Amino acid sequence: RSAEFLARQRVYESNARSYPRRLPIAIEQAAGSLVRDVDGNVFIDFLTGAGVLSLGHNHPELVAAVTAQLGVLTHGLDFPTPVREAFVEAQLAMLPEPMRDRMKIHFCGPTGANAVDAALKLCKTATGRGDVISFQGGFHGSSHAAMALTGLVSQKRPIPNGVPGIHFFPYSYCARCPIGLTPASCATNCVNYLERALTDGNGGVPLPAAVVMEMIQGEGGIIPATTEFVRRVRTLTRELGIPLVVDEVQTGCGRTGTWFAFEEYGIEPDVIIASKALSGIGTPVALILYDAELDTWAPGAHTGTFRGNQLAFAAGVAAAHIVQRDDILGNVTRRGAQIAELLKPLLADPWVLEVRGRGLIWGIEFADPASGRPSGRLAAAVQLAALRGGLIVEVGGREDDVVRLMPPLNVDEATVETACSILLDAIRTAKA
Ligand code: PMP
């Protein structure tokens, strides 16, 4: 039956589909970490709606929260409502203490890309500057501006006349250093290069409105920035008066073991972009949190119809509560350590270039040992073999050569063990 659904989808929806091209199943129902397809096959889900379903599918308390809100108020534009206010308070309370009082919130929904666009507009308004710095291999969404900001070339559609004034700099991708350095010979040359470009009066880049970065490049292949890289970028942007925007659409809401990934780096950004897992159950919501000093928008300067999804707010209040009550961040850290341990055998595999991640966001990068070239072919074969074994994983990376794991944040120990064992089997099968 999956095959029939897929065939009909091809007729109705042309070639713009993405996930089912690689994961050829039609899904019908899901609970917790498990998904059932229309043929009754059950899979462990380590894709979780692209990181959206942070508490698993259909968490009963989130279902109850949404159900209770239905029939009360579903859509409220940007009028104040009790549930909106509760959501705002819950979000601000999740920030590190020193940031709580000085950050403001603006809803930009419904998707992450909308919030990325909003962050660009806000920083351009606040600084009066038009240029923006972004990083090679990053991903920020599919709207026109978010895609222009995206450095992940494989994801960029060939759109002529993209948003002008976006400058790309190397990200700290040490496994495949863009300028061929090794960690020993590096001395954070990527930041030195950025610093030089920003301060060079003779042909560097104009002082930008913002530097936008992911703490871990997600779609780009689960590449955590090095601590030194992030701290130097923070120091540099602060010295030069450039707002630092962190895109936490994928890494936010507990995915890395802290509420936001920037916390582990010991920095404070000026703007935070969040979306995916805010509601925990897939009811869409997107927002920016930003330093009050950037608050230069006149009333009505950035509007949008879908900025008041009360169902998302209700679920999000419950999700934030559950994260705290059930020590979900502790589970993320423990299960992350378990994944690191279970995947250790891969470090000796000549086809595995690197195993990277933290918390519950992991990537396994494959390369052909003969040529050293990225092996997208093997990553795709592993993904399919894992599906056949009963595990859904995603593929990403600059050459589609990284298998990505993003389990629900409340995944249990036994499920992680089963999933990793399916994955190791899938790698053996795919290599054979
Ligand atoms: N930023 C990052 C870091 C993302 O990973 C994504 C989505 N994968 C986006 C922005 C865009 O979010 P959306 O697809 O909801 O527009």
**What distance separates the 2 farthest-apart alpha carbons in the chain?**
64
Give the pair of three-digit tokens for residue 223: 């590449």
Q: How far is CA 342 from the centre of its chain?
A: 23
The residue whose CA is least distant from atom 11 of ligand 1 is 141
Cα of 312 from ligand 1 centre, angstroms: 17
Amino acid, res. 276: K
Does the residue 237 lie in any domain? yes
Tokens of 241: 């008066």
Helices 189-199 and 227-240: angle between axes, nearest 10 degrees: 10
* Structural domains in the chain (count): 1
CA 220 to ligand 1 centroid distance, Å: 11
Residue 422 lies in a domain: no
Instruction: Look at strands 103-107 and 42-45 and give their pairing.
Output: unpaired
Q: Is residue 142 in some structural domain?
A: yes
Quote the domain boundaries for residue 243: 64-325
Query: Could you tell me the distance, in angstroms and rounded to a whole number, from the CA of residue 115 to the centre of ligand 1?
Result: 9
Whether complex ipTM tops 0.90: yes
- Distant-in-sequence, close-in-space partners of 211: CB < 8 Å, separation ≥ 6: 132, 133, 134, 233, 237, 242, 243, 244, 245
Decide: 275 in ligand 1 pocket, CB within 6 A.
yes
d(CA 107, CA 86): 14
Identify whether 7 is part of a domain: no
Which residue CA neighbors atom 1 of ligand 1 most closely?
140
List the structure tokens of 238. Answer: 């602060």
The token duo for 220 is 């780009």
Residue located via tokens 């692209």: 50
As a whole number of angstroms, the distance between CA 46 and CA 124 comes to: 37
DSSP secondary-structure letter at 417? H
In which residue are the tokens 């104009």 written? 206
Strands 287-291 and 271-274: antiparallel
In 10 A of CB 400, how many CB atoms?
20
Query: Does the residue 217 lie in any domain?
Result: yes
Question: What tokens were used for 61?
Answer: 């308390």
- Cα(192)–Cα(202) distance, rounded to whole angstroms? 16
Considering the domain boundaries, does residue 386 fall inside one?
Answer: no
45 within some domain: no
Cα of 184 vs centre of ligand 1, distance in Å, is 33
Is 54 within the bounds of a domain? no
Q: What is the pLDDT along the chain (432 residues), one digit of tens a residue?
A: 999 999 998 888 877 678 888 999 999 999 999 999 999 999 999 999 999 999 999 999 999 999 999 999 999 999 999 999 999 999 999 999 999 999 999 999 899 999 999 999 999 999 999 999 999 999 999 999 999 999 998 777 777 778 999 999 999 999 998 888 887 778 788 899 999 999 987 778 999 999 999 999 999 999 999 999 999 999 999 999 999 999 999 999 999 999 999 999 999 999 999 999 999 999 999 999 999 999 999 999 999 999 999 999 999 999 999 999 999 999 999 999 999 999 999 999 999 999 999 999 999 999 999 999 999 999 999 999 999 999 999 999 999 999 999 999 999 999 999 999 999 999 999 999
Kindly state the tokens that stand for 138. Answer: 């990053």
CATH at residue 223: 3.40.640.10
Q: How many residues does the chain have?
A: 432
